[in-house]
Every structure is written in C-alpha cells, then in structure tokens.
Structure 1
Amino acid sequence: MPSTPKHPPLLISQLSQQRVFSQLSAKSRDTLAGQFTLANATAGATLAAQGRLPDQLGLILSGTVRLSDPDLNLSVQLEAGGLFGFGATPATQLATWQAVAAADCEVAWLPADALAQLCIKHPQLAFFLPSLQPAHQPPAVPAPPVSESSNALNLLGTPIRSLIKRPPITVAPDTSIQATAVLMRDRRVSSVLLVEQGLLFGLVTDRDLRNRVVALDLDISRPVSDIATLAPMTVSANSPAFEALLLMARHNIHHIPVMEGGDILGMITATDLTEQHSTSAVYLAGDIYKQSSLDGLKSISTRVRQLQQHLAAADASAYSTGHIITAITDAITIRLIHLAEAQLGPAPVDYVWVAAGSQARNEQTAKSDQDNCLILDDAFDEAAHGAYFKTFSKFVCDGLAECGYIHCPGEMMAMTDIWRQPRRVWAEYFRKWVDSPKPKSLMLTCVFFDLRAIHGQAALLDGLRQQVVQHTKGNSLFLAHMVSNALKHRPPLGMFGQITLIKGGDNPHTIDLKHTGIVPIVDLARVYALAAGVTVANTHDRLEVSAQAGEVTEQSARDLRGALEFLGKLRIAHQARQMAQGQAPDNFLALEELSNFERSHLKEAFSVVQTLQGVLGQRYAGGRF
C-alpha cells in the first residue's frame, strides 16, 4: 500500500488526541509523526496476519479495524484513535490475533523498534502499553519444583553408565555363602556378582541371603551359586536410565548388572534411580506385587496419577512417560492374574494374556481404559475349560476396572467371549479381517493389530503376529482400506490453517488431543508398519523402523515422531494440571492453557500430520477399486 506524505493534519490531530501520545509534548509528537507510514485499506483487507502484529504498532486514523483470534473464535472492534499491535495488544494475544479492515480505513504504522526507543526516552508511556516485549519470542518455562523425586526422574535421559558408583563386586560361583555375606558386609553392598572366567554367571542380593538362607536354615558353607539368580537380566551401559527403571518395574527386581559388550561395568540398584519410594515406578511396582487382595491393589493404583504428575514436573519425555505408566498397568494386570490363579487354581491349558491399544503400544497415561484379549492354546476345549477361563478373565477385567482402568466401551476385553479364543480362531479372525476389510473389520484391526504379551506363553502371540504381518505386507487392497479408515481421524485445522475447536457437546471450545492429535499419527504409523511387515507396536518405534524399511522417508518419520512427542507432552502436562486441581484427567485441551509459542508449534504438528495423511492417501488412492 502506497505511503503518503509525512505530517498530514489527520495524523497530527490523532496523535494529539490519542490517550498515549497526548502525554508527549507537541515537539515530540511532531518528531514522532515523521516515523509513521500511512496506508489505506478497503473493507475486508487483511492489515496484519497472525504472527505479524508484533512487528509494528497501528494507529487507526479513520474507519474501523477488527482484531480477531481465529483459533478461539474471538474478536474485538476498534474505531478511529484506537491502537493495536506491538505495545498496545496484550502479550498473550499479540502473536495469535490478526487485524482486518472492518470498513474502509486509514492506518498509521510505527515500527516496533521505533516505539521501543520512544519508550526509553519517555518511560511514562509504558503505563499505557502492556506488551513492550516481542510476543513471538518463546516464553520462559517455569522450572519445576525442586524435589528429590524430580531430581531422580530427570535421570530418565541419563546414560546408565553415569550412575555406576563403584566397580563391580564379584565372587567365584564356588565361594561359600558365609564368605559372600562377610564380603557384602565389609564392602557395604546389597549385592554381588558371580563371575567365572570373566563371564557373568549369576547375582546374589541381601534378599537372597534372607529368603533363601536364613529363612530356610540353609548350610552357610554351601557354594553361593546354590542361592544365586542365574543368568540375570542385564542392561547396556549406553542405555538411558529409564530402561533400567522399566526392567525393574516390570520384573519386580531391584538390582541389574550393567554391561558393555561382554564386560561387566557395575551394578545399578533401585535406589540409584530414585529414593522417592512413594512415586517411583520401581517401588510402586514392587508394592503392587506385595498386594494379596483386590482392595490392596485399588488403594495402591491411586498413586499412578501422582507418578504422572511427578514425571510431568520432571519434564520427562512423552515416550518414557508412556512406557513407565504402562509398566504400572502391566504390573497391576499381572498381579490380578496371580490373584485369579490363586483363587481358581492353575490354568488347565496354556494361555497368554495380551494387551491391545495404548497399553500394547506402551503409550498409556493416567486417563486410559482397558483393551485386552486372551489367546488360548489350541488344546483348549470349551466344555472342559470354558468355565475356568470365563471366570478367570472376568476376575482380571473387573479388577482392572476397580483399579481405575474402566471397561472398554466396545467390550474389547478378554471377559467378552469372542475375544477369549484358541490361537486357531484368532488366526481365522485376522485372515477374515485382512481378506474382507469391511468397516467393522478395519475398526477391529486398528485395536488388535497393536498387541503385546503381558503374561503367559508369549509364543502363542509371537507366531500369530508373524503370520499376520506376512499376510499384510504388500497387500495393497487391504492397506488401501486401512488408509481410508485412518484418514477419518483428521487434525483440527481449518482451510486457512487455523485451529478449529469443538463446537458443542460436553467439551466445547477445546481440542481433543487424543482423537484428533495423537490417534492420526498412531494410524499412520500402523499403516507404515503393516506395509513394511514390522511387528513392533510402539508408535515412535514403528516410525523409526518403517523409515529404515523405506515405507516412509527418514525426514517424514522424524517430523511425525517430533509431532507425536510434542502432542504427547501437551496431553501429559494438561492431565497433570487437572489432577493437581483435583479434577479427573481428560484429553480435551483449551487453547488458553497454551503459550503463544506452544500454540504455534501445535499448528505445525497438526500441519505435519495433515500433509503426510495427504501423501499416504495419494499413494493408495486407487487401491480400493
């Protein structure tokens, strides 16, 4: 828009009447007038798009200007003499509002740096200007409260080798129990490693001395190998600390040898990871396995929310938070299975309890329902064994519901007869779903293609999974239908890139972070994995492996992983805020909860998903016909 000569009478008049600039002397206003640029706009013209208001200050000389936030569907109207943009528009709105001519208007523009210099010379003007700092700069993130738990949880991204406090304490397998106990006392350690010819043979802890020696009155002159845990689980020195935490939580162990190749570097204990017994995943899982009743599990399950709050405060990644929260769900499930078997007796045939959905993907948060199934050995006979497994599965599913994992609204649970079947029946289920991809089949596929063994004979699932992915790999008809089904979940972006909010129902003026944010990425990763014949279930890992297999470019996979991590952290932080306020956690985020910086990145994340949905849709556009 063309500039007009400096110092026009209308500009001088408005400056003298405007409540901010009337504070200046006539000479100062005259000098200031020379720094403005004048522009005319017709009704409907965009004066400043989203993100451009921080660049300059606008003074309306004539006409009307409408400021609006298209994401929140908010707007205000300013008349002649009004100011907007840098300095005048509050910082919380500055980067996300836009300016449009509501009627033909003339606006005088002052560059942001010129206004900043003016306020240095005339500091009294700051009283009228609420946003003198550019809002497009990232806001400072408040540090989480310092506590032992947050310090400990910050170790989640720390390599395990940095936690090793001393060289490994070792003994030969034929060392006596008494000599081993004396060594542990003298070296003040709670465990020793059994090593023979430089190779790790076993592990002995003070718990072994108590439970396997003292409690059983065992001869202390016997070799320590008699009470050792042989071939113990180990971790790599370069692995992140959260992997050791998960291993301890899932298997209810407190000591793990650290290896570098074949060399033993040392030992990691639960107390090396965190001293906060009440909210540590390790100690929480340990307490779960100690419970002997459903009431005890119900009581302890309430600590899962506190665990998520501590993870959020420690700025743990969404990836590691999902794994840790899911590890607790696994522990509760396994303990319920133990209690069921204690009550009903051992299972009459082999089985594997299988998690589906977010639990299978290690992507749970404190707001999760249950999706599970039961795969039985083909020796299963309904007449002989049906009643046992019906009672067994109902006990576990109802127990999960009592612990806060509500029954699946679609009844996709092992307590439902159709999802508690022998392996041969499951194989037929998958064959039909792949060969006849009807809408219901596609919906079931999305749930039951994300599976992970929780307890029992994992081989029952492993063989079935391999069989299924071989059938889906390169199956363009099936994959095209899966893509069509996946594209039903779209990011909430309007035609011009603005965020569209839920308009009615129970959660108006919010976005659904789960179904319109995270689920579209989960769906994309599932299609990539099926096309590549990949068996991993976690979405982040699927994207990584699918890129290696050539089903998606490395850059696109990185973009989707970044979007997934960003949306996941928003969801976790949103739920942590709700729980801190005594509210039930949900997935519905109001944009007012976000900083301008976060809102900008939210749009970018949605845009990445939208673009790659379009790419995948084009790839399989003809495959359904």
Structure 2
Amino acid sequence: MPNAFNFSASPFDCLNSQEQDLVRNSVDIAYFREGEIILDVGSTPTHLFIPIKGYVKQLENGEEAAVYGPDDCFDGRGLIAGKVSSQFVASEEVVSYQLAKSTVTELISTNATFGALLFADLSKKLNALAERRSQYEINSLSLAQVSEAFLREIHIVDFNTSLFDVVKIFNDKRTNNVLVRSKDPDNEELGIFTTTSLQRAILAKAPLDSTPAGPLSNYKLITVEAKDHLYEALAIMIRHSVHRVIVMNEGQPIGTLEQVDLLSFIANSSSLVVQGILGAKTLDDLKEAANQITNLITLLHRNGTKVAMIGRLVQELNAKLFEKAWSLIASPDLQKNSCLFVMGSEGRGEQVLKTDQDNGLIIANDYAINAEVVSACEQFSAALIQFGYPECPGKIMVNNPAWRMPEKDFTETAKHWLLEPTPDSLMNLAIFLDSHAISGNSSLLESVKQNLFKLATDNQFLMARFAAAIESFNSEVGWWNRLLTLGGDNSDNRINLKKAGIFAITHGIRSLALENHIRSNSTAERVRELIQMHKIPHDLGNEVVESLHLLMELRLKSGIAELETGKEVSGEIDLSRLSTLERDLLKDSLSVVKRFKQYLRQHFHLEFA
C-alpha cells in the first residue's frame, strides 16, 4: 500500500526522489472507526495523518472548523508545536497513512517548501506557491498566439489610388501603411505601400495627386497566420528585416502586427492599451481598446503577476477608458460641471474581469439637468454595454435618475442612506463608500463623501445595522463539504467566492473603515490604516488581505478559463479543477473569513443588530 502513496498531492509534490523514498520507507497505515477521536486537544502528536479513505472533522470549541479527506493531511502545526490545539474526529470509517514525526522533521529540515506548505501560515504558503510557479511553470508567452496581440486595422486601396489619397488615409486613420490591390482585377494578390514607399516617391519628385500607389507597392507580402505563435512572428520579422507582418486568417488579411506592438505585448506593457484609448476618435475605436484590456489581464495572469497588481492596473485602464468615452459623449461644459465616478469593486481597484456597471454622476448645483445631460448618460451606459460591461441588475448606472443628481441632492440622499437604514439604503451606502472619481470635477464627489463621513458618528446601533450585511450569504456555510465534493462537472462542485468570502471581507473592512473615518478605497489600504490605528489585530488584518487576494486569484483563473471556452464569466469556481494545494489554500482562506466574521460579530455586537 505505501507504494501507492500520492506524491502529486500538496505538500508532498515538492519532494525530490530521495525524499519520496524516505516517505515510502517510513509510512504506515492506520484505521479509525466512525466517531473515534484521532487527536484530542492537549495531546502530544506522534504522526502526520494523510487520509486514504473517509473524512475527518476538525473541531474547535465544539464547532466544525475544517474537514479533511483523501490526499489532505493533518495536524502539521500540532506536530511541530508538540501539542494539539483542536480535536480531530473520524466522520466515518477512516483509513489513513501516518508518517512518523521524526520523518516529517527530517523532511522539513531538508526541504523548506515542504515545511512552509505543511504547517506555516497562509502568507508563507502563498509565498511557497509563488516560488513553485516560478520554478515549474512554462512561460505562457511562448504559447501565446498572434491573434492575442494588438493587431492594427488594415486599409485596402485600389491599384490606381493616388499618393495624395493614400496620404489622406495615413493622416485620417493614423496608420503608416495600406494594402494595394493588383492591377489585374482577377488577381487577388495584395501589395503594401508604406511611409517608406512615400518617402521614395517624394525624393523621386513624383506628383502626389497623379501618381498611383500600385506601381510603387511591394507585392511580396510578409505574412503570418493568426494561429501562429508570437515568437514565430518575431522570428519572421527578424529573418526578413521588417517591422511589420500582415496577419492572415483563412487566406484573408485581418490586421497588421507591428514589431513595436509585438515587443510591448511580450514585455507585458499596458502602454498599447493606453495608446489605443487616448488615440480613439470614436466609440468604436474604444471598443477595440476595451477588448485589449481583457487580453492584457489574461497575459499578466499567465505570467504570474499578482492579482492585486492586476486589479490596480485594470482600475487605471478602465478609468482611462471611461473617461475617454465620456469625453466623446458629453459636452465640455457638462464635463466641467459634473463628476463621473465608479463604485463597488471597480472603485476599490479590486475588479479584474469585466463585471456589472456601477457608476454615477454628481452635477454642480447651478447646472441644469436638461435633455443634453439625460442623453449623454443614456449614451454612456449604452457604450459601456458595447464595451462588454453588462447592465447593472440594480440599475446603479448614470442612465438611472437616482444615480445622477445635483450635489445638494446627492448629499441629502447619502444622508438618508446612513440615518434611515433599510436593506436597499444600506446597500447603496456600501456601494457609494467605494466611489472613485474618473472624470470631471472630483471636488463634487469629495464634498458628498466628506459630509457623509461627518455623519458617521459613534452610533453603534447604526454601525451594527450596516456591518450586519456580512451575514447576507450564510447559505454558503457548507463550503467545507462542497470542497470535498469532487465528482463531475455539476453545480454541486461549484462555489461562488463572492458569497463564500469576498463580500464578507470587503464589507467587513468597509464597515470598520466607516466607523473609523478612513477615506481610502482599497481593502488592502483600509486594512493598513486600521492596523496602524490598532483597530484590528495585526495578524488577522494581514491574513484577511491575503485571503482576499487568494479568492480573487482563484476567481480570476476560473473566469479566464470560462472566457477561453466561450462561456460567460460566472464568478464561480469549479472545485474539481483545483489542485490539492489550491484546495488547501482555499480552506485556509475561508477559515480566515470565518474568524474575521466572528471578530466582526463581537466588535459590532451583531447579535443585537
């Protein structure tokens, strides 16, 4: 039986062959009846247990804290500490490997990663995971296809098109080349005319208005297929000493890949997206830039960029996108006399993939909300839908009059949310507290928020009502069992991470921030300030942020997989697709959520809310 030990399960998957032999030579098998206590509080553990069959409950103060099944292991921390702090009970008949403490100690001394994954806190486990990714993962860029990069629009002209007309296209379309049809109408061959071709024509003193582009074009196009790998495209550019290639799909040109775009893509640069946004002249131009944001997110994630960094970058890119869209829609006068803002995860800088719109507009008191304002708001909401940001089910959008108001009215509305709490008003307040200005006069938003914080007094009953929303998704309390339901691809294997933990973390920290008049938006920054003010235990605060980022990471990974298979992003993860290490980290993160919610219940006295 020991020969069948699963070395692909965490933390044993980091052992070398010599260390694996040590495990095989040391492991034994134990049997426990249903209800039998395997480890009790205060006992001195002698073995690490790795269940083969059956499940084991971990109980703390009589409450279920965790469940361990096949390929999990327990109690590493107790083994190293020399004392068990929880009770471990067989939920059913259990067959388990048991590894002697001396063997575990030897493995820890020779393999730091094994030790970190076995008994360290969440932070060290995440660091170990990052190290393993950098060691074992293939650079995904070597697998990225040409179609994933930024492709510039192609422009095709006839053989006899004059150089003057070509120059107009260069200027109007902000391009440096056009494709030119053959002189023979029956010949589908295409040539290319570039700014270099134009320079040669000018030096030859060719008249621009009467010289056709066809004879000066190069009909030996350098092409790549859309499905080719990026490095193949780069190799072709180097081989032919060219700065661009024409991208083909099923025999038809679909775009131009410039060397600068390819290199920027490889360098993980977001500058191309920004360039596309700033250079956009129409909403259709912006739609392409919006698509590139999603492509960039996928690339950054594949390369191991931390999800917090991706979220921050996406916040800035989306802000640029929305600001540009608003500038194309709203008049300069409206822009100057209003503040366009986003809320929710977008406002906190924690939205990664596109989700429902959450935005509003505060208008200067002396500026009339006329038909122009209404039309601009309608156009903006419609544009964002075209960009891939769905309509908010709760209509928290600028095209809803309830979310576009003069400053004085918004101030009164926010006051009502705070002082006359109802489920809807508390939800609106929570969303608004994360608001972030993206265009126009930001002082309008600051004024409303400043008045709101002045009203946030030491009214404990009010704060308890606000914080009590952390209990909104208690239907997810069975996540331990769901973590262990790893059959086929069905709904029982799926878990909504927002309901299971993300909302409790973000709203819990938001509640503490409101109570302490902290103006920062991001959860991580709010936690840092709370720790500095000694309003949350240091260790708990840090673990809450690490847990949030782990949940965001798993959610992003699942969302990207859904997009790549043509599905809509659900916000759920398929537990059956998690590695044993990811399941272990998810358990740890949700345990932190559970402890944090208990801290909030005690802090805000939620039993009276």
Measured against the shorter chain, the TM-score band is: 0.5 to 0.7
Q: Does the aligned pair in 2 maintain the 1:513–1:587 contact within 8 Å?
A: yes
Q: Does the aligned pair in 2 maintain the 1:483–1:620 contact within 8 Å?
A: yes
Equivalence map 1:18-167=2 (5 Å): 42-45=33-36, 55=48, 67-68=54-55, 93-95=70-72, 140-141=132-133, 142-145=136-139, 147=141
Distance 1:491 1:595, change over 3 A: farther
Q: Does the aligned pair in 2 maintain the 1:352–1:455 contact within 8 Å?
A: yes
SS in 1 for 2:385: helix
SS in 1 for 2:439: strand
The equivalent residue for 1:355 is 342
Letter aligned with residue 337 of structure 2: D
Equivalence map 1:293-304=2 (5 Å): 293-304=282-293
The equivalent residue for 1:607 is 591
Alpha-carbon deviation of 1:480? 0.8
The equivalent residue for 1:334 is 323
The equivalent residue for 2:553 is 569
Alpha-carbon deviation of 1:300? 2.7
Q: Does the aligned pair in 1 maintain the 2:268–2:300 contact within 8 Å?
A: no
Alpha-carbon deviation of 1:304? 1.9
The equivalent residue for 1:287 is 276
Distance 1:66 1:445, change over 3 A: same
CA distance in 1, matches of 2:519, 2:581: 37
Which residue of 449, 452, 477 maps to 2:436? 452
Alpha-carbon deviation of 1:282? 2.0
The equivalent residue for 2:13 is none
SS in 2 for 1:352: strand
Q: Does the aligned pair in 2 maintain the 1:39–1:108 contact within 8 Å?
A: yes
The equivalent residue for 1:378 is 365
Q: Does the aligned pair in 2 maintain the 1:430–1:468 contact within 8 Å?
A: yes
SS in 1 for 2:339: strand
Q: Does the aligned pair in 1 maintain the 2:356–2:391 contact within 8 Å?
A: yes
CA distance in 1, matches of 2:450, 2:550: 32
The equivalent residue for 2:426 is 442
Alpha-carbon deviation of 1:441? 1.0
The equivalent residue for 1:424 is 408
Alignment gaps of 5+ in structure 1: 1-14, 21-34, 59-64, 72-91, 117-134, 151-270
The equivalent residue for 1:315 is 304
Letter aligned with residue 290 of structure 2: S
Q: Does the aligned pair in 1 maintain the 2:476–2:499 contact within 8 Å?
A: no
Alpha-carbon deviation of 1:96? 6.6
Alpha-carbon deviation of 1:468? 0.9
Alignment gaps of 5+ in structure 2: 5-25, 59-68, 75-87, 105-116, 120-127, 145-259
Letter aligned with residue 95 of structure 1: D
Distance 1:484 1:314, change over 3 A: same
Letter aligned with residue 564 of structure 1: L
Alpha-carbon deviation of 1:409? 0.7
Alpha-carbon deviation of 1:427? 0.7
1:406 aligns with 2:406: no
Which residue of 578, 586, 590 maps to 1:594? 578
CA distance in 2, matches of 1:377, 1:38: 74
Distance 1:609 1:69, change over 3 A: same
Distance 1:548 1:292, change over 3 A: same
CA offset digits 1:417-457 (Å, max 9, x no partner): 11110010111111111111111111111111111111000
CA distance in 2, matches of 1:357, 1:36: 50
The equivalent residue for 2:150 is none
**TM-score, structure 1 normalization:** 0.59
Alpha-carbon deviation of 1:514? 2.3
The equivalent residue for 1:548 is 532
1:466 aligns with 2:432: no
Q: Does the aligned pair in 1 maintain the 2:35–2:91 contact within 8 Å?
A: yes
CA offset digits 1:561-609 (Å, max 9, x no partner): 1111221222222223333444433321122222222211211111112
CA distance in 1, matches of 2:32, 2:143: 57
Equivalence map 1:150-549=2 (5 Å): 275-276=264-265, 280-341=269-330, 346-347=333-334, 350-381=337-368, 385-490=369-474, 492-494=476-478, 499=483, 507-549=491-533
Distance 1:47 1:69, change over 3 A: closer
Q: Does the aligned pair in 2 maintain the 1:66–1:101 contact within 8 Å?
A: no
CA distance in 2, matches of 1:36, 1:350: 73
Distance 1:379 1:498, change over 3 A: same
Distance 1:606 1:388, change over 3 A: same
Higher alpha-carbon deviation: 294-303 or 528-537:
294-303
Same amino acid, percent of matched pairs: 20
CA distance in 2, matches of 1:294, 1:38: 66
Letter aligned with residue 600 of structure 2: L
CA distance in 2, matches of 1:110, 1:502: 24
Alpha-carbon deviation of 1:386? 2.1
CA distance in 1, matches of 2:96, 2:583: 29
CA distance in 1, matches of 2:31, 2:351: 54
CA distance in 1, matches of 2:602, 2:269: 46
The equivalent residue for 1:617 is 601
Alpha-carbon deviation of 1:115? 12
Distance 1:569 1:477, change over 3 A: same
CA distance in 2, matches of 1:496, 1:284: 41
Distance 1:339 1:505, change over 3 A: farther
CA distance in 1, matches of 2:426, 2:309: 29
Distance 1:53 1:345, change over 3 A: farther
CA distance in 1, matches of 2:275, 2:31: 71
CA distance in 1, matches of 2:488, 2:140: 40
CA distance in 2, matches of 1:496, 1:286: 46
Q: Alignment length, in residue pairs? A: 424
Distance 1:94 1:391, change over 3 A: same
Letter aligned with residue 72 of structure 2: A
CA distance in 2, matches of 1:574, 1:36: 36
The equivalent residue for 2:21 is none
CA distance in 2, matches of 1:110, 1:522: 40
